[in-house]
Every structure is written in C-alpha cells, then in structure tokens.
Amino acid sequence: MAFARTVIVEPAVEDYLREEERKNPPLRNVLRALEWRLARQPEIGYRVPGYNPPRYIVRSQPYRMPVPRFLRLLYRYTDDEVIIEFAQVETAGDVDE
C-alpha cells in the first residue's frame, strides 16, 4: 500500500472551497478525489517555475453541474504533508487547454 501524506488546506482556501461547494455540491467529491491522489502521488502536478520550495498545480477532470467545470489546486509538499495554498474553480470556457 502506498504511503499517504497528510493533506493540509490553508484556511483561506477552505473558506473559498466551502463557498464554492454551496453553489456546486459535486465539488466536494472532486476535491476529496484530488486530495486522495495528492496524498499518495504529489509529483503528478505541473511544477511552477520560480518557486522555492517548489509549487505544483494540478487540475481535475471536467465535471458537470450544470456546465463542465474544473478545480485547480496550487500546492507544495514535503515527505509527510501536502499543503494546498490556492484553489480555483473554472468553467470549461475559462480554462486554457
């Protein structure tokens, strides 16, 4: 079984996500899935240049309610933790493919 890091969500990010979940309840499941994956494979994200310690971005697969949406997370990680520092919910038209 893979080692799972502790996922920590910064308080401002928690507030933002809580508000977005009120508008779009399926977001909770999307967030939980990303947290699960990052706890086990934090290296899956795209490394953002210019940060020390390194920061990474990961984006969810599209989900619907009522239009396709994506969740992007900016995070850093250590041997024991993944710290989510920023989150953004975007509709498909807002996302650069």
Instruction: List pLDDT tens digits, range 23-43.
Output: 888 889 999 999 999 999 999
Of the two residues 92 and 48, the one the predictor is more confident about is 48
Q: Which sign does the torsion angle of CA 19, 76, 7, 3 carry?
A: positive
Highest mean pLDDT among 12-21, 54-63, 64-73: 12-21
CB 79 within 8 A of CB 3: no
Which region among 52-61, 72-81, 88-97 has the lowest average model confidence (pLDDT)?
A: 88-97
- pLDDT higher than threshold 70 for residue 62: yes
Determine the 3-state secondary structure of 5 from DSSP: coil
Confidence of residue 8 (pLDDT cuts 50, 70, 90): very high
- pLDDT higher than threshold 80 for residue 89: yes
pTM: 0.86
Domains of the chain (ranges plus CATH)? 6-91 (3.30.2310)
* Helix then strand then coil, % of the chain, to nearest 5: 35, 35, 30
Q: E strands of the chain, at which residues?
A: 6-9, 46-48, 55-59, 63-64, 68-77, 81-91
